[in-house]
């Protein structure tokens, strides 16, 4: 394994502790892990614990224990996003000092009539010239730039910052740092240079690239993997009743996950140990098999 140095690969898995590890999140963990292994890189684990209202007590520990039971080995300590709060504030201060942001006093009600695009409400710019509201969010300005990136699996992507995103929040009204800002600060801090994650986050990438540009960060490469869905097409998530993984069944579940990621595991693997399964998978891994795919229908026993 390479350590640090110049151009070496650094990937990561960055779960939010909003619930236990389920089969959908296991797919993102496996894909990012195998990509890092195959490229002789480092793989970091970051618990994105900066949104206490959405967190489930104990979920972070359960996720970590579940990952251990599945045989994942991360490089370095587990990172907790809350530990880099000072860095988030520094980045926010930089954006503010560079006059790239403004205070927005609009409430949800104020925005009820605002246009809604595929990414949600497009902020109409009401507070662009300032707000003296005592409770405010901080928004970053966008312009008519079309942010493009070449996703390693999903191909060329483009998003108009003005008409599809609009000025977006980097510091919430409740004084929590917004996800887009925290994620780019932490990826930059840890030298992450390739991001393998679910396609449900692909719409967020242009806003993250926008921030990376404003903050002068290197832009990582991205590979958005298909998302696990129930046979009826709903995304597997806590909301749609995705079950906590049974770590007693880790080898069998891991094999199901590898098959879901198009690896065609051989039948002999059924009797293999976790290290044997991982070493087979690291050899066989081919992220290209997921190219252009947006969803993976998950077998019933795994929902």
Residues that bind ligand GLU (CB under 6 A): 14-16, 48, 183, 197, 201
CB of 78 to ligand GLU, least distance (A): 14
CA dist., res. 52 & res. 204, Å (int)? 21
CA dist., res. 92 & res. 185, Å (int)? 10
Closer CB to ligand GLU, 127 or 186, in the complex: 186
Query: Which residue is it, tokens 């080995």?
Result: 73
Residue 229: helix, strand or coil by DSSP?
strand
CA dist., res. 280 & res. 203, Å (int)? 33
Closer CB to ligand GLU, 201 or 284, in the complex: 201
CB of 267 to ligand GLU, least distance (A): 33
CB of 260 to ligand GLU, least distance (A): 18
Closer CB to ligand GLU, 164 or 194, in the complex: 194
Q: Identify whether the C-beta of residue 21 lies closer than 8 Å to the C-beta of residue 15.
A: yes
Closer CB to ligand GLU, 31 or 254, in the complex: 31
CB of 13 to ligand GLU, least distance (A): 7
Closer CB to ligand GLU, 16 or 165, in the complex: 16
Q: Identify whether the C-beta of residue 27 lies closer than 8 Å to the C-beta of residue 257.
A: yes
CB of 196 to ligand GLU, least distance (A): 9
Closer CB to ligand GLU, 15 or 41, in the complex: 15
Q: Identify whether the C-beta of residue 199 lies closer than 8 Å to the C-beta of residue 235.
A: no
CA dist., res. 296 & res. 278, Å (int)? 21
Task: Indicate if the alpha-carbon torsion angle 296, 297, 301, 303 is positive or negative.
Answer: positive
CB of 6 to ligand GLU, least distance (A): 24
* Maximum C-alpha span of the chain: 67
Closest CA to 187 of 20, 32, 22: 32
Q: Identify whether the C-beta of residue 240 lies closer than 8 Å to the C-beta of residue 228.
A: no
CB of 220 to ligand GLU, least distance (A): 10
Closer CB to ligand GLU, 43 or 280, in the complex: 43
């Amino acid at each position: 394994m390479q350590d640090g140095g110049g151009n070496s690969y650094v990937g990561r898995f960055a779960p939010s502790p909003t619930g236990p590890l389920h089969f959908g999140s296991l797919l993102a963990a496996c894909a990012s892990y195998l990509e890092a292994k195959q490229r002789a890189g480092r793989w970091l684990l970051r618990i994105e614990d900066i949104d206490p209202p959405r967190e489930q007590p104990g979920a972070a520990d359960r996720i970590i224990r579940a990952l251990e039971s599945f045989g994942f080995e991360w490089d370095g300590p587990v990172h907790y996003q809350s530990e880099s709060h000072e860095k988030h504030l520094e980045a926010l201060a930089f954006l503010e000092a560079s006059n790239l942001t403004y205070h927005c006093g609009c409430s949800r009600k104020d925005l009820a009539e605002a246009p809604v695009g595929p990414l949600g409400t497009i902020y109409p710019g009401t507070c662009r010239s300032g707000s003296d509201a005592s409770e405010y969010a901080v928004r970053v300005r966008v312009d008519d730039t079309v942010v493009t990136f070449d996703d390693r699996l999903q191909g060329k992507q483009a998003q108009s910052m003005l008409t599809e995103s609009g000025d977006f929040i980097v510091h919430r009204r409740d004084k929590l740092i917004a996800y887009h800002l925290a994620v780019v600060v932490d990826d930059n801090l840890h030298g992450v240079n390739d991001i393998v994650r679910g396609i449900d986050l692909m719409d967020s990438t242009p806003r993250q690239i926008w921030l990376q540009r404003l903050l002068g960060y290197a832009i990582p490469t991205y590979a958005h993997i298909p998302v696990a869905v129930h046979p009826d097409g709903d995304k597997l998530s806590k909301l749609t009743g995705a079950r906590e993984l049974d770590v007693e069944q880790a080898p069998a579940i891991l094999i199901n996950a590898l098959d879901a990621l198009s690896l065609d595991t051989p039948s002999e693997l059924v009797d293999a140990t976790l290290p044997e399964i991982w070493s087979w998978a690291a050899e066989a891994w081919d992220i290209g098999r997921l190219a252009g795919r947006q969803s993976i229908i998950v077998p019933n026993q795994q929902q």
